[in-house]
Amino acid sequence: MTSAVQTRLVGLPGSLRKGSFSRATLASLRDSLPGRTSLEILSPELPLYNEDEDGNHAPVEVRQFRNAVAYSAGLIIVTPEYNHGMPGVLKNALDWASRPYGKSVLIDKPVLVISVSPAFTGGVRAHAQVNETLLSIPARLVGGAQVVIGNVSEKVSEGVMDQSFLSFAMQSVDRLIELSRSASALAAIGAAK
């Protein structure tokens, strides 16, 4: 039975480049979502995290970013690997999203991490670092096979991901959607009590 409830997801690329493989992957996933599911692609371009500028003084773009994540059913992060790790721009966005301590918009938020790289390794080290950061918040990571896209430059053409790999990635997105809907249903039951 298909849920009549709209599932609103947000996507976060780990790269600022407009033509990035991360952004192309998110756009391809967005275009392949089942009915009643949407994906808004956010920008990781935020000022560097500074606790002195947080709280009531947080920059407007940070407040908008946090609200977009908070009011979503789940998050898809697609990241490249820079120098054997996650890009600074992604870590910075996760730092903003993780604050204030104990009240992060990512606590128990279902999150799917995908890594992409022109190398055959597919960004596995960045993938592991993002997972470690999310577990410390603690977000709710989507289980199952890791989605790592090696040789991504051969799998994305004109901003569109190859269909065979897209089908593999969509299996994990489907798990995210199911987890998001289950979490939303439990929250609704808790709010009704």
The residues near 51 (Cβ < 8 Å, ≥ 6 apart) are: 99
Please compute the mean of the pLDDT values over residues 44-52 and round it to a whole number: 94
- Give yes or no for a contact between 79 and 148, defined as CB atoms under 8 angstroms apart: no
Residue 49 has pLDDT above 90, yes or no: yes
What local confidence, expressed as pLDDT, does residue 114 receive? 94
Residue 189 has pLDDT above 60, yes or no: no
Residues 13-23 pLDDT 10s: 999 998 898 99
Handedness of CA 173, 179, 73, 76 (dihedral sign): negative
Residues 57-73 pLDDT 10s: 899 999 999 999 999 99
What local confidence, expressed as pLDDT, does residue 3 receive? 46
Residue 151 has pLDDT above 50, yes or no: yes
Residues 69-106 pLDDT 10s: 999 999 999 999 999 999 999 999 999 999 988 899 99
Residues 103-128 pLDDT 10s: 999 999 999 999 998 888 788 999 99
Phi-psi region of 8 (alpha: psi -120 to 50; beta: other; left: phi over 0): beta
What mean pLDDT, rounded, does the chain reach?
88
Q: Which has the higher per-residue pLDDT, 2 or 106?
A: 106
What local confidence, expressed as pLDDT, does residue 1 receive? 42
